[in-house]
Structure 1
Amino acid sequence: MNTGLIRIAAVLALLILTVSITGCMYPDERRGENNPAAAKEFLVVVQNAVNEYQKETGLLPIQNSTMDTPLYEKYVVAFKLLQNRGFLSSIPANAFERGGTNYYIVINEETNPEVKLMDLVSYQQAEAVQKAVDDYRGTHGGVLPAASEAAKSFYWIDYKLLGTDPPKVVSVYTGQTLSLMMHETGRVVIDYAPDLMQLVQKQKIQPMQGKDMRALLAESFPHAPAKSYPYFWTQKEPRVSAK
């Protein structure tokens, strides 16, 4: 056989062996960590475990939180409680507790407890800007690094004053880039108005007056809108509100 062909055959064999070994090193669960279909499957498994736990104990398997914890960040699933009672064999691969990028949380806790995801990537981006805003206020007599007004009681952030570029916050709902804004108290949140508007237009929804529109995102997607204030349908658009 030609020496060149032998070398080619050897290289191909090595590549095939490498791919085979790599595939064996990563279980299906880890390979599907960022797969939307896998995420939905994980949610079903955890939802069933939460339901069984509540049925048996009369309680929800959630971590302790404070009264000040925002609505869509408040009730984080306590996986150890589910595992200790045998309702869950392993923690989902996309959970923070397994090195993933999501917290599992419970919403509608009093009426119809539902398990959702909280995206930690965008959460941590907002937290990093929060720290920068707090540091700026601390060295400027409590003044906010505010640019123009975003809505009543809300402001866009002047990143030049912070000496940094705005983070690229990618929406878990639409994939578009979202902005951060500040409440007049200095709390930094994600502006979900573009996501809400796209959802309303795509699904041809007629939002109910006086109802917090964030529920539409939580009902329509696996993720809950963390780092947010309520939104209400006003003059044919979603508007953030501190109330």
Structure 2
Amino acid sequence: MKKTRIVSLLMMVMLLMSVTTGCLYPEGNSSQSVSYRESVNRIQMAVDDFQKENGVLPIINANQDTPRYEKFRVDLVKLKAMGFMDEIPNTAFEQGGSGYFLIQNEETDPTIKVMDLVTVQKVNDVQQAVDKYKLQHANQLPNAQELYPNIYSIDLAKAGVPSIKLSSVYSGEDMVFLMDNNGQVYVDYAYDIMQVIDKSDHKPKDDEDLRVILLNSSYYVPVKSLTYKWINGAPAAVQS
């Protein structure tokens, strides 16, 4: 009898754990995305309150050369010091996490988004490898295939970093590293953009920067990206 009761109790505990897990992690969401959702909501409220009280946004200043999806970083330390937040979220770089929190649409509708620092670091690692290759090969580039006009995939083996891989924060798929004629490194978001378009009623316009579609459909900014236009029925990276 005792053994039967123990087995029954264990089965009940496992059932409760599975139900609880289902509540915490809805279908299609990873634990990371759930954590970011909570962090984004907390920071959004703090930023809104700060702006109402002070008339400005709590932004860490960036210079004019800072790329679009790397600027307007939230000053989380200031928000905490001034009492707008009890604690800085563990997902933030300031607390050892892997994200910077940025403000987008800063002039019209300030909205909190996440810059994934894993993406940034891996692009920087490939950039260092490309720069080293250029230095050692009379400014030649370790290009593989021309994927878009004057934009190439990178031969990572030739560059000496065949093991570097990067998963998309949007789809989880492996990403392709891109390079322009100057050897500047980016990642290719065409697949992710197309996925969002396929699942929506959005009709891309010729002059539209399609990166905004990713921005509006997720918590993340498309960091280390080129501009994307709708060309011949598909998103294509272009140099702006």
Which consecutive unaligned segments of at least 5 residues does structure 2 have? Answer: 7-29
The answer as to whether partners of 1:49 and 1:87 remain within 8 angstroms in 2 is: yes
Please say if 1:79 is aligned against 2:114: no
Matches within 5 A, 1:54-203: 54-165=51-162, 167-203=164-200
User: Can you list the C-alpha shifts for 1:157-201, whole angstroms capped at 9, x where unaligned?
Assistant: 122321221522111111111111102222111100000111111
Specify the alignment match of 2:27 in structure 1: none
Is 2:37 the partner of 1:52?
no
Match of 2:39 among 36, 39, 42: 42
Tell whether the 8 Å contact from 1:196 to 1:217 is kept in structure 2 after alignment. yes
- The SS at the match of 1:48 is helix
- Inter-partner Cα distance in structure 1 for 2:163 and 2:107: 37
Distance 1:78 1:178, change over 3 A: same
Q: Take 1:83 and 1:93, find their aligned partners in 2: how far apart are those partners?
A: 13
Alignment check: 8 A CA contact 1:34 1:94 kept: no
TM-score relative to the length of structure 2: 0.84
Partner of 1:125: helix, strand, or coil? helix
Q: Secondary structure of the residue that 1:178 maps to in structure 2? A: coil
| 4+ runs deviating over 3 angstroms | none
The Cα offsets for residues 129-153 of structure 1, whole Å up to 9 and x where unpaired, read as 0111111112222222212212112
- Is the Cα–Cα contact under 8 Å of residues 50 and 84 in structure 2 kept in the other structure? yes
Equivalent residue for 1:222? 219
Q: In 2, are the aligned partners of 1:189 and 1:227 still within 8 Å (CA)?
A: yes
* Secondary structure of 1:134 counterpart: helix
Asked whether the equivalents of residues 204 and 210 of structure 2 are also in contact (C-alpha less than 8 Å), the reply is: yes
> In the superposition, relative to structure 1, how do residues 153 and 111 fare at CA in structure 2: closer, same or farther (>3 Å)?
farther
Return the match for 2:201 from 204, 209, 213: 204
Cα deviation 1:62-100 (Å, max 9, x = unaligned): 112121111111111111111122111111111111111
Of the structure 1 ranges 127-136 and 160-169, higher mean CA displacement relative to structure 2 is found in 160-169
Distance in structure 2 (CA, Å) of the matches to 1:58 and 1:166: 48
Deviation per CA, 1:33-74: give whole Å up to 9, x if none.
944223212101101111121222222211121211111111
Percent identity of the aligned residues?
A: 38
Q: CA deviation at 1:207?
A: 1.3
The TM-score, its normalising length taken from structure 1, stands at 0.83
Give CA-to-partner distance per residue, 1:210-231, whole Å, 9 cap, x none.
Answer: 1111111110101111010110
Structure having the higher Rg? 1
Displacement of 1:115 in angstroms is 0.6
> How far, CA to CA, are the matches of 1:164 and 1:48 in structure 2?
42
